Amino acid sequence: EYFISFGAPLPLEVQETFNRMTGGNLVEGYGLTECSPVVAANPLKGEARDGKIGLPFPSTEIRIVNVEQDEDGNYVDAEPGAEGELCVRGPQLMKEYWQQPEATAETIDEDGWLHTGDIGKADADGYLYVVDRLKELIKYKGFQVAPAELEAAVQSHPAVADAAVIPSPDEEAGEVPKAFVVLREGAGATAEEIMAHVAAQVSPQKKVRRVEFIDAIPKVPSGKILRRQLVERDRARLA
């Protein structure tokens, strides 16, 4: 009757199709191995919010901190509603990485907060939203741009079936967002149309600046995008 999806963002189309075919109730949640493995989920009975990973599990604390530490090397809480790194504290946290004290110290701080490496934010009601992985942020002229946000914008184009966004090297900007796009069968769109569609939805520094059409987005069985393959393809083109 109830199902929870973890591991990758749950597309609304997939959620609606699953619920229609099974008669069940599929909601999105969030977890990681270091948290045994659940942290948050949308309520099974109550308000589930599309695109959100829901509310923290009982006895689980969530803290959102600025990506950059302050001058004293401390993590500072992000402003309400602002994006930052998700940190977790609760009884389900692991004790340590086996025989890896340095890795443990890098992940769990002195106050017991586990730094997930995920960028997220919370709405006014405390529902959480994961933006992207910290290490996957695109650094455009000093701005940090989340690929997942741009992928959602690209996929909202009616001609687009799937998309992935990566950092593409640029002499002037350092990196620029590049979208690999899969078009729907029988549909057509130009790179300029895709970029204009995204530009209408995001701030100027987040615009997609390159587009390449591709037959399929490489993914692992769970649905996560294999960005490394796309990065290697892009680097080979630039070589």
pLDDT in tens, 4-49: 998 878 888 889 999 999 999 999 999 999 999 899 999 988 898 9
Confidence of residue 187 (pLDDT cuts 50, 70, 90): very high
**Radius of gyration in angstroms for the set of CA atoms belonging to the chain, rounded to a whole number:** 19
For residues 178 and 212, give the distance between their C-alpha atoms in angstroms, rounded to a whole number.
Answer: 8
Q: Is residue 239's pLDDT more than 80?
A: no
Between 176 and 72, residue with greater pLDDT: 176
pLDDT given at position 131:
87
Q: For residue range 73-132, what is the model confidence (pLDDT) as tens digits?
A: 899 999 999 999 999 999 999 999 999 999 999 999 999 999 999 999 999 999 999 988
pLDDT given at position 222:
72
Mean pLDDT of the region 152-174: 95
Q: Is residue 50's pLDDT more than 90?
A: no
Cα within 13 Å of Cα(105), Cβ side: 4
Q: Which of 36, 90, 64, 228 is nearest to 147 (CA)?
A: 228
Return the amino acid letter for 105.
Answer: A
Instruction: Name the architecture of domain 2-135.
Output: Roll (2.30)
CATH superfamily of 137-238: ANL, C-terminal domain (3.30.300.30)
Q: Where in the chain is the domain with CATH 2.30.38.10?
A: 2-135
Confidence of residue 144 (pLDDT cuts 50, 70, 90): confident
Q: For residue range 55-71, what is the model confidence (pLDDT) as tens digits?
A: 999 999 999 999 888 88
Confidence of residue 136 (pLDDT cuts 50, 70, 90): confident
Q: Is residue 53's pLDDT more than 90?
A: yes
For residues 133 and 130, give the distance between their C-alpha atoms in angstroms, rounded to a whole number.
Answer: 8
Cα within 13 Å of Cα(140), Cβ side: 20
For residues 12 and 24, give the distance between their C-alpha atoms in angstroms, rounded to a whole number.
Answer: 15
Confidence of residue 234 (pLDDT cuts 50, 70, 90): very high
Q: Where in the chain is the domain with CATH 3.30.300.30?
A: 137-238
Return the amino acid letter for 136.
Answer: E
Confidence of residue 212 (pLDDT cuts 50, 70, 90): very high
